[in-house]
Amino acid sequence: MTNATVCRVDDNAIAAPAVEVGPRLPKGSYLPINRCNLPAMILGGLTFQRHPAPLLLDGVAELHHRLFRSLDLLAEPGERAQRFMDYMTVYFRLEALEDVGLMPGRRKLRGRADYLRMVRGWAFDPNSQEGAVLKAWVESRFGLLARYHGGLLDDRIRDDTYMQFLEACSRGLYNTNALEAQLDLLYAYAQYEQRRQQPTAVHLSLYRGFNRFSDDQVLAKPDRRRWVVLLNNLSSFSVRRERAEEFGDHLLRVQVPLAKVFFYNRMLPGMLKGEDEYVVVGGVYEVERLC
C-alpha cells in the first residue's frame, strides 16, 4: 500500500452531491488528504449522511481480491466469518509472528496487538490505548480528526491531552505487525458482510446515550427534537434503545449510513460479548433527540 494518497473520487464510486445543504463540516476537524475514494469534507458532511456512497479504502479490495472472491462462494454468515478470520491469521502470520520478524521472548509485547485486541480494547474503554489507535486509524484513512480522547482535543500544538493521545497511538502501534492494514481489512469485511446480509439497505437506525455536547459540537437546532451535531471521528451506537439509555441521561436516534460502520459486535464469532454495538465513523450528523 502507498504511504499516503491524495484524495480522489473513484470512477466506480457513486458521487456524493457537491452542494452541502445545512451546516458544513467545520474547518479544523478534517485533513486535506486521506486514503479512500472520497475526501473528508464530503464523507464527513451532512449531505453524505442523507445520500451515502460506498467508501473504498485505497488498495484494499485489489490486494485482497482472492479473499472476497472466496467469500462470494459461501452462503452462511458463520462460514464467511470463519474464512475471514482464518485469512487474517494466515495473511498477517498472527500465530507465527517469528515469520515476520518477532524476536524470541517478545511475543507478549507484539503478538497480542492485533485487530481483535484493538476492538476488544475499544469495547472495554474507548479512551484506552486501543481506542487511540482506532481513532488515529480513522484520521489516516478517512481524514476525520479525533475530537475527544480522555478529554477535548482542542489545541493540537500546546494541549497536553492531545500529546497524551499521540503517545497512546505511538505505544499502540509500536512494533506491531501491519496493524493498520489489519484494520483496513476489518472495515472492508464489515462493509462486504453488510451488503451480503442487507443488499438493499442504505442506513441503520441506531441509538446513542449522552450527557451533554460541548458548545462546538451542536452546529444547528432546526427544531426542539432535531439537531445537527459534529460527532467524534469514531463513536459507539446501539441497535437497542434500552441499551443506549444506560450510557447517558439523554438519548439520540441517528440514521447512520452503512458505509460508515467500521465494525459491529456480531460480525465475528467471539469478537465481543453482546450483539447490539456498532462502531461508527463520525462527522456531521442530523440526529433526533428522543429525551
Concatenated DSSP letters of 101-140: TPPTT-HHHHTT-SHHHHHHHHHH-TTSHHHHHHHHHHHH
Please check whether residues 278 and 163 belong to one and the same domain: no
Q: Is 39 a domain residue?
A: no
Residue 6 forms part of a structural domain: no
**Residues 139, 180: one domain?**
yes
With respect to residue 132, please indicate whether it lies within any of the assigned structural domains: yes
Domain boundary among 149, 174, 197: 197
CA-closest candidate to residue 240, choices 206, 284, 212, 196: 206
For the chain, how many residues are written?
291
Residues 192 and 212 in one domain: no
Segment 68-77, tens digit of pLDDT: 999 999 999 9
Nearest-angstrom CA–CA distance, 114 and 94 = 8
* 133 and 172 housed in the same domain: yes
15 is a domain residue: no
Decide if 38 is inside a domain: no
Contact 46, 73 (CB under 8 A): no
**Which cell goes with 4?**
499516503
- The answer to whether residue 275 scores a pLDDT higher than 90 is no
- Is the domain of 77 the same as that of 184? yes
The domain in which residue 270 lies consists of: 203-289
Same domain? 179 vs 76: yes
Give domain status of residue 228, yes or no: yes
Q: How far is CA 120 from CA 114, 128, 158, 262, 273, in A?
A: 10, 10, 31, 14, 9
Q: Tell me, what's the pLDDT at 175?
A: 81
* Single residue among 136, 165, 197 that ends a domain in this structure: 197
Q: Is the pLDDT of residue 15 over 50?
A: no
Residues 151 and 187 in one domain: yes
Instruction: Mark whether 250 and 282 lie in a shared domain.
Output: yes
266 occurs within a structural domain? yes
The verdict on 141 and 84 lying in the same domain is yes
| Whether 120 and 238 share a structural domain | no
Last residue of a domain, one of 149, 173, 197: 197
Q: Is the pLDDT of residue 233 over 80?
A: yes
- Domain tally, the chain: 2
Q: What is the pLDDT of residues 135-176, one digit of tens each?
A: 999 999 999 999 999 999 977 777 889 999 999 999 999 888
Q: How far apart are CA 34 and CA 108, in angstroms?
A: 32
Q: Are residues 68 and 174 in the same domain?
A: yes
In a shared domain, residues 189 and 226: no
Q: Which of 116, 127, 126, 165 is nearest to 145 (CA)?
A: 165
Q: Residue 14: what pLDDT?
A: 41
Asked if residues 285 and 44 have their Cβ atoms less than 8 Å apart, the reply is: no
42 within domain boundaries:
no
What does the pLDDT look like over 83-106, one tens digit per residue? 999 999 999 988 876 665 566 655
Q: What is the pLDDT of residues 205-228, one digit of tens each?
A: 999 998 888 778 999 999 999 999
